[in-house]
Structures are given as structure tokens and as C-alpha cells.
Amino acid sequence: MKFLISITILIFLQACTQKHQPIKITSMENKEAKNNPYYSRTDTTKLNISNNEWKKVLIPDLYAVARESATERAFTGKYNEFDEVGDYYCAVCGNHLFRSTSKFASSCGWPSFFEADKNGVYYKRDQSYGMDRVEVLCKRCDSHLGHVFDDGPKPTGLRYCMNSISLEFVAVSQK
Ligand SMILES: [Zn+2]
């Protein structure tokens, strides 16, 4: 009898511990966004924040891409092969950048779009590394997002080649 009771207690204890598992692990970017006082998906006020300040609130990988124009390695980004329905926001400041309806399967190794939100991005000529490219930046926080090329599909013929880490995807159902 005693044995049976301890077994019951054991099962009960196990059920209890399982109730609290698994812990939902949120992505680094989301976690950081919460500690980032400048991040907002509704506030469109232009930001003028120094890199010293950004360095304190962004994870190092995002800082390197967004503020120092680094490029993430091809085929490694989380949105490269990703086709959920929703919107893409700037991972640094929350500004709206792309809709999933303009994303297309490109073989270049980075998430690609044929159209950007006109109010979300601006362009700069980039002649670094011996190439002549057009850089795409966030209109709200001036962060580097990627480059745009003219070998994209219809209707625009453009290919916005973006770094996954610079983007924050929000599914339609989460809005
Ligand atoms: Zn931004």
C-alpha cells in the first residue's frame, strides 16, 4: 500500500512539473526588441539615435548588419526559406518595410522582395568593395537593410536582397 501511495505521489509530481514545460523560447531578436525603447510598430517618428546608443540596445549581430553594413552569410538567415503570410518590419525600430505578398523565392541565399513599402525605405548609392550597388536603408532609423538589384521578377523587375536579421516578421494572425 505504502508503495502504491509513493507511486501515485511520484506520478502526481511528474504531472506537475510537466505542466510548466516546455517553456516558450522567444527569439533573441524579439527579446531584445522589448529592451529596445526605440522599437515601435505604430510610432513613425523619425529617429536620430547615435551608434553608441544602438550598441547598448541591439544584439551584436544585428548591430553589425544594421549599423556597420555587414552582410549575413548566404543561406543562413531565418527568412531565406520562409513563406508565411504577414508583414516584415525593421528589426531595429519596428518600421513597416515589406509585405509577404511581395516576397519571392530567389536563389541568391537571402530573403528577396520585388517591392518595398515606399514609406519604409530609402536608397543610397554604394560603391564599396569595388561594386556599384544601391543600398536600401530604413527611413525611420537609417539602418542598413540590404541592397536592391534590377534583376527581379514582374511587376517591378526589382530584387530587394535583404538580411534576415534586419527584419522582424509578424504573421497576419498575430496583429
Ligand atoms: Zn528602422
**Active-site choice (90, 93, 138, 161):** 161
Is 141 annotated in the active site? no
Q: What is the pLDDT of residue 3?
A: 54
Q: Compute the distance from residue 165 Cα to the ligand 1 centre, in Å.
A: 12
DSSP letter string, 116-173: --TTTEEEEEE-GGG--EEEEEETTT--EEEEEES---TTT--EEEE-GGGEEEEEGG
Total-model pTM: 0.79
In the chain, which residues have pLDDT < 70?
A: 1-34, 174-175
Q: Compute the distance from residue 85 Cα to the ligand 1 centre, in Å.
A: 21
d(CA 137, CA 42): 19
Q: What is the pLDDT of residue 172?
A: 86
Domain hosting residue 40, numbered range:
2-174
CATH number of the domain within which 37 lies: 2.170.150.20
pLDDT in tens, 116-152: 999 999 999 999 999 999 999 999 999 999 999 999 9
- Split into its structural domains, the chain has a count of 1
Q: Compute the distance from residue 134 Cα to the ligand 1 centre, in Å.
A: 18
**Of the candidates 89, 91, 87, which has an alpha carbon nearest to the alpha carbon of residue 57?**
91
Residue reference for cell 513613425: 44
Q: What is the pLDDT of residue 35?
A: 83
